[in-house]
Every structure is written in C-alpha cells, then in structure tokens.
Amino acid sequence: MEILNLPRLMVASHRGGAGKTIVSLGLLFSLKTRNFKVASFKKGPDYIDAGWLSSIAGRPCRNLDLFILNEEQNLYTFYLGVKDGADVALIEGNRGLYDGVDWQGSCSSAQLARILKTPVIFVLDCTKATRSMAALLKGFVEFEKDVNIAGVILNNIARPRHENIIRTAIENYVGIKVLGSIPKLKHLPNERHLGLITSYEFHFKFLPILKETFEKNVDLDTILEIAQNVEPLLIPDHYLTEEKNLYKGLRIAVFYDKAFQFYYPENLEILQYLGAELVYVNALQDRTLPEVDGIYLGGGFPEVYAEALAENGSLRKDVYIAGEEGIPIFAECGGLMYLGKEIFWKDKSYPMVGLLPI
C-alpha cells in the first residue's frame, strides 16, 4: 500500500447539462495558466469530456467508473493519473451527484467522492430561478451528509441582481460558500448526438474567454484551499500479474485521428506494458497500412468523416487484405462501422473496408 496525499476536487451538479464540463474546463485552464500540473479524471465511461480535459491538461484524462471497476481498481487508476507528477487532481462527475444505477445511488459521483475522500464543488444551473436554488442546494447538502459539498458555483447568471438574490439566499439558508458565478456565455460549442463535440473539433479560441470569465468571477484561491484540505488515500499495490514481455516484438496499429479517437489510456498502456509496440495510423491521411501484427480500431465518428475515409481507398484495401490474411483486428463502435461494407450518412452511401457484411 502507498499513501497518497494530493490536493483534489470533484466538480458535480444536480443534473446533466448544468455546466459541469464548462466549469471543469474553466478551472483546469485557469489552474494550468497558474503553472499547476493538473491531472484530470472523468467519472463514467465518457470519451468526449475526457478528450477535452486531456487536450487542455496536456496529459491523458482517465475514467473512473464504479460500475466497470471495483473500489481498489478505481483507486489505482487514480494513482496512475497522478504518479508521474501532479499538483492537483480534478474529477468531473456525471449526471446528478447522487444519480447511480439504482434508487440507492450505487456507482454515483457521490460514492466516488467518498471513496477518493474528495471535496465537491457543486455547479448550480440558475436559469430562470432565484431563491429556489437555495432550497435545491440545501437538499443536496443534507441528503448524504458524508459527502463533502464544500462550495458552489452559480452557472447561467443573467445579471448582477440575479446573482445577488441567489448568493444571499444560499448564504442565509444553506451556509455553503458561493465560490463564483458564471454569466450566460454565448458561442458555446454545439452539441451532437453522442454528447458534446470532440476535442479535435473544440474551438480552442473559446478558452481565453473562459479563462477571463473565471478570473473575473470565480474565487480560484479558495477553491485551491478546499482542494488542499483533504485526507490521504491508501493506494493498493500494482495488480497486474501478466508477464511483462508477453507481447514483446509485436507491432499493433492503433487508428487515431478525427474519425477514431475513443480510447481509454489504460488499454494502450497495458499493451505497452506487455511489450507491444504501438504504431499510430491516421485513417484520413495515411495511404498505406504499416507492417503490423494486429490492428486496434477504437470508436469515434466515422460517419462524419465518411467521405474522407471512402476517398482513402488504398488504406481501406490494406485493412481488408490484413483481415483476410488473418491478422487480428479488435474494433469497437465506430471502428466496427469502418470494417463494414458501407456507411450511410445524410442520404449518401460511402464504401468502407468491406470485411463485415454490414
């Protein structure tokens, strides 16, 4: 066992779509501009928010999930994210704080916060509401008192009077510190069918606006004090038992580009741990498949880039031949679509690899 004493915080809310991602990105970017090394995490299996956090932090964001992983594995995954040097860890929750897989809140963000002994910064979407926000927050604070809701950030504030009423009500009825307020921000990135747009398409020109907004409206110093006031964690020992060089000498093609980008870093790291060499392939630009012993095709949005994928016929042919010759291919989600005969998108058909009759 190892003792880990690292400043950390979780950004959570009363529901999905209340502003957790925007607040997480704003906090992360603001901390980074203060020269903090921030390790980011996303609660749940979400790839897209994790991609944004990775892009801004400059290091892989790791997913923490109590449904997929047990408590010890989540602790060790957290350790993997900070062991190479981090000043603070930021965890973005998902859905509502107490929402889980059942009525008891199993696998919720609240449960993860308890396991990681992490204070919660609560985001309140204040659209078209004032004093009622205090009632809502009071319910969350008292619902499970072993969850440390240490402060609140008000989101979608219309004007100063709007903020003042909510802030005063919270201070009088709840006693939780209001750490800042975010005005309604225009020109936010659009949403897509699987959530927010990917980090590849994120309008990074929006980040300076977000940074300025947080510097003007959020008490970052107090948030840092909250993050530092945490108990140490006991990290379990390394649980990998496989032979370290089991895959030594094997080359695995990993398709990574705008069309295919949904990968958990641990899956890539364990291949390297076992001795495999990862060869990254851009399905939109690379015309040939390098000599490899296996192919890893992750998820993404191949339908959006179907025309460009179809135009790269030489690479599609190489993948087809590799499959016919028995080279192992692991594909999921969008990667599986790429292996099919064609993709239909916006009333058009685009040829794909053709290994699967779909």
Q: Give me the phi and psi of 286, to 5 degrees please.
A: -75, 130
The stretches of the chain forming alpha helices (DSSP H) are 20-33, 48-57, 71-82, 109-115, 132-143, 160-173, 207-217, 220-228, 265-273, 306-311, 313-324, 334-339
Question: Which residue, 49, 45, 154, is CA-closest to 107?
Answer: 45
- Specify the residue for token string 């779909």: 358
Question: Which one of 61, 107, 126, 333 is the catalytic residue?
Answer: 333
Bridge partners (DSSP) of residue 299 are: 262
> DSSP letters along 62-84, please?
EEE-TTTS-HHHHHHHHHHHHTT
SS3 content of the chain, % helix, strand, coil (to 5): 35, 25, 40
What is the rounded distance in angstroms from the CA atom of residue 225 to the CA atom of residue 230? Answer: 10
E strand or H helix at 40? strand 38-43
Q: Are residues 286 and 259 in contact, defined by beta-carbon separation less than 8 angstroms?
A: no
Let me know if 107 is a catalytic residue: no
Q: Which amino acid is at 77?
A: T
> DSSP letters along 146-166, please?
TS-EEEEEEEEE-SHHHHHHH
How large is the angle between the packed helices 20-33 and 207-217, nearest 10 degrees?
90
E strand or H helix at 3? strand 2-4
What is the rounded distance in angstroms from the CA atom of residue 203 to the CA atom of residue 187? Answer: 10
- Could you tell me how far CA 330 lies from the centroid of its own chain? 23
What is the rounded distance in angstroms from the CA atom of residue 73 to the CA atom of residue 172? Answer: 41
Q: Which two tokens stand for residue 37?
A: 């090394």
Residues with a catalytic annotation lie at 333
